[in-house]
Amino acid sequence: MSRIDYQEHRERLRESYLITDAWRDLGFEGTPAKSCRCPWREDRKPSFSVFNDGRSFKDFSTDEKGDVFSFVMLALAFSFKDAAKWIEERAGATPQSPVTPSQLHHRPSPAKAKRELKLPALDHGSYQEIETLAGSRGFQPYAIKMAIKIGTLRFGQVCDHRCWVLLDDSGKLAEARRLDGKPFDAVGALSARKAHTLAGSSKSWPFGLTLTQGKADPMATIILVEGGPDYLAAFDFLVRFQCFGCQPVAMLGKSNSIPADALEAMAGRRVRIYPHHDPGGGGMEAAKGWFEQLTRVGCTVDGFSFEGLTRLDGKPVTDLNDLLLADEASGKAWKGVTP
């Protein structure tokens, strides 16, 4: 290929595959914009910019800048040749090959230490507390006890309230909800909230994915839900129908991007997604993002819809926890809820 051909080829790829496309395919959190956070290092305040209609970027903290080729080279620690091949495949210039999450060598910031997850004193909860949580959400107590047994549910004092706390072995995430069902009070910059994320958490991490060896089959079907209540509801349905070849996993944050190391752990597995059926369509939008990322790493993915289902109180069923409270007609959907 001559120099002129090379320049034309690079320009053609630049036009057909943008930095915004690479950002998505790499599974980075957040949204590329004129002012955003750097996707490959911890960035407390936005110091990164994607501009020129997605064709250019600049990191104002390091002064690194360039086009989509430079972006992929920095994100994956690739040579130009490898970055060009990676882009060609995704731009359709050559046959598509699957993304392998182990390629993602995101560069940590050497100047900033990893945040440590801060946990209060935790316990297994009393009999009465387990009954209280079960009654407030329509769970059977055995579902709660199952989560306690595998170590993803504990009880403790958070923000001066007795809470149920979700945490997993990754050390990346813990979330608390008040046992009395009330929201946490607004404090300083924190607004009133149903769930309190403990300091040091990464809410993009799929909660429940990381379990101590022996507590989950590494090839079990993943039950991918939204939020803590749906996580516990998944245990209720799995035990109710004696479906033990499944592993509940919950997305607790609003991000529709799954981290690369989590995708690596999920690669090749069967996944069923239970998106929230909310008026704004945010649940379905998030599910589409998860679907695209999971299929790219070889997962077999399907979904369950709550559309048209009704609770006993006449309200629509919007999530898996609501389905436990479905009226008799909608309760027929229970038969198809597990994979």
Same structural domain, 86 and 154: no
Which residue type does 90 have?
R
Q: What is the pLDDT of residue 108?
A: 41
Nearest alpha-carbon partner for 203 in 168, 254, 275:
254
- For the record, the structure tokens of 146 come out as 């199952």
322 contacts 137 by C-beta, under 8 angstroms: no
Q: What is the pLDDT of residue 7?
A: 62
Same structural domain, 45 and 160: no
Question: Is residue 128 exposed (0-12), middle (13-18) or buried (19+ Cβ within 10 Å)?
Answer: exposed
Tens-digit pLDDT string for the chain (339 aa): 333 355 676 778 888 899 999 998 888 888 899 999 898 877 778 889 999 999 999 988 777 888 898 898 888 877 777 788 888 888 764 444 444 544 554 444 433 444 577 788 999 999 999 999 999 999 999 999 999 999 999 999 999 999 999 998 878 889 999 999 999 988 766 788 899 988 888 777 899 998 765 566 777 899 999 999 999 999 999 998 888 889 999 998 766 778 888 888 888 999 999 999 988 778 888 899 899 989 988 999 999 999 999 999 999 999 999 999 999 999 889 989 998
Same structural domain, 159 and 213: yes
Q: What is the pLDDT of residue 48?
A: 92
Same structural domain, 320 and 186: yes
Same structural domain, 70 and 150: no
Same structural domain, 78 and 127: no
305 contacts 277 by C-beta, under 8 angstroms: yes
Domain end (from 82, 97, 112)? 97
Q: How many CB atoms lie within 10 A of CB 66?
A: 16
Distance (Å, whole) CA 36 – CA 17: 20
In a domain, 112, yes or no: no
274 contacts 230 by C-beta, under 8 angstroms: yes
Distance (Å, whole) CA 190 – CA 13: 44
Same structural domain, 88 and 173: no
In a domain, 170, yes or no: yes
CATH of the domain at 48: 3.90.580.10
- For the record, the structure tokens of 85 come out as 């091949």
32 contacts 18 by C-beta, under 8 angstroms: no
- Please give the helix or strand (H or E) that residue 338 lies within, else none: none
In a domain, 131, yes or no: yes
Nearest alpha-carbon partner for 117 in 238, 50, 4, 200:
200
Q: What is the pLDDT of residue 213?
A: 55
pTM: 0.67
| Tokens 């479905």, residue located | 326
- For the segment 112-148, what is each residue's pLDDT rounded down to a tens digit? 444 577 788 999 999 999 999 999 999 999 999 999 9
Same structural domain, 65 and 206: no
Beta bridge pairs of residue 224: 249, 273
Domain end (from 64, 97, 130)? 97
In a domain, 117, yes or no: no
316 CB-near residues (< 8 Å, 6+ apart): 277, 306, 309, 310, 322
Q: What is the pLDDT of residue 271?
A: 96
Nearest alpha-carbon partner for 290 in 268, 271, 264, 265:
271
Q: What is the pLDDT of residue 88?
A: 86
Domain end (from 97, 113, 139)? 97
Domain range for 155 is 122-336
For strand 174-178 and strand 195-197, is the pairing parallel, antiparallel, or unpaired? antiparallel
Same structural domain, 298 and 174: yes
In a domain, 49, yes or no: yes
In a domain, 159, yes or no: yes
In a domain, 107, yes or no: no
Same structural domain, 176 and 219: yes
Distance (Å, whole) CA 304 – CA 322: 13
Same structural domain, 163 and 48: no
As for how many domains the chain has, the answer is 2
Same structural domain, 30 and 137: no
In a domain, 108, yes or no: no
Distance (Å, whole) CA 299 – CA 263: 10
Q: What is the pLDDT of residue 85?
A: 84
- Please give the helix or strand (H or E) that residue 75 lies within, else none: helix 68-76
